[in-house]
Structure 1
Amino acid sequence: MDVKVSIVEIPMTEVVRSITFYEKVFQIKIERMTMEDTELGVFPSNGNGANIVLTKGKDYKPKSEGVLVYLDGGDDLQPILSLVSLNGGKVLLPKTEISPEMGYFAIFLDTEGNRIGLHSKN
């Protein structure tokens, strides 16, 4: 069996702050939804990759430790990374080459305290 990522939930405590941060950093529109007592911010998707959802609920606690999710930084992650600090996040690791074949990565803290990675080929 080929294991693939289906859904990534990023915990949040402040809905407006978190959605605004990700909308500005990734220059996208995030859809707000509610499922029972859980608030969601759903990233746009073309259905070809994992669904990314900002989630606020009683069992969701932002953390800077544990599993590290890397989001696609497009052709070059630097334009996205440069918007992190401007919108209340913090760059933990600047754009760093993995290898010529594997590209680059960076790590930042979002406004909720989650550690998030970025990856790009260039």
Structure 2
Amino acid sequence: MKQLLIITAIILGMGMSNCKKEDKVSSETSNQKFVSIVEIPTTDFSRAIGFYQTVLGITIEKMDMEGVQMGVFPESGDAAYVVLVKGNDYVPTKNGAVIYLNAGNDLQPTLDKIEKNGGKIIVNKTEISPEMGFFALFLDTEGNKLGLHSRN
């Protein structure tokens, strides 16, 4: 519960700092990205860090916030922050909301690394539509169901 309060305070602080004296509905809000932080629960923090670093080819920054282990993915412009978390209130699940990770121009090379690194492919690369591109679904090493998305 303490972790939830900390994250909520961070999000509220970020939101308050972005507030203006007058709230205006404009074309700017229609282009706003509404997701700002995504937390992916872990049971084995080191294993999860290794999985995502290898599969995505990134370096994850490790930190500890009041007993909660956090692994922060590299910042990517105005995209949401993605954080691996291990704490008492975090339980991996394959049920619930599905987070789709951007796999660049073609998700297949990333998908090919999933099972080699302890994950499981649930849905192979599948076309959504010519305009929206492709997706795939997988289980990570912690049992979370996630997706990959690419234009090609």
Cα shift readout 1:74-122 (whole Å, capped 9, x = no counterpart): 0000000000000000000000001111100000000000000011000
- Aligned twin of 1:54: 84
**TM-score relative to the length of structure 2:** 0.78
- Aligned twin of 1:81: 111
> Structure 2: 5+ residue runs without aligned partners?
1-28
**TM-score relative to the length of structure 1:** 0.97
Percent identity (aligned): 56
Paired AA for residue 97 in structure 2: V
Larger Rg: 2
The runs of at least 4 aligned residues of structure 1 exceeding 3 Å deviation read: none
Distance across 1 between alignment mates of 2:60 and 2:96: 25
Q: Secondary structure at the match of 2:35?
A: coil
Say whether 1:32 aligns with 2:62.
yes
Larger relative strand fraction: 1
More displaced, 42-51 or 96-105?
Answer: 42-51
Superposition CA RMSD, Å: 1.0
The Cα of 1:37 is off from its aligned counterpart by 0.9
Say whether 1:15 aligns with 2:48.
no
The Cα of 1:47 is off from its aligned counterpart by 3.5
Larger relative helix fraction: 2
Q: Secondary structure at the match of 1:104?
A: strand
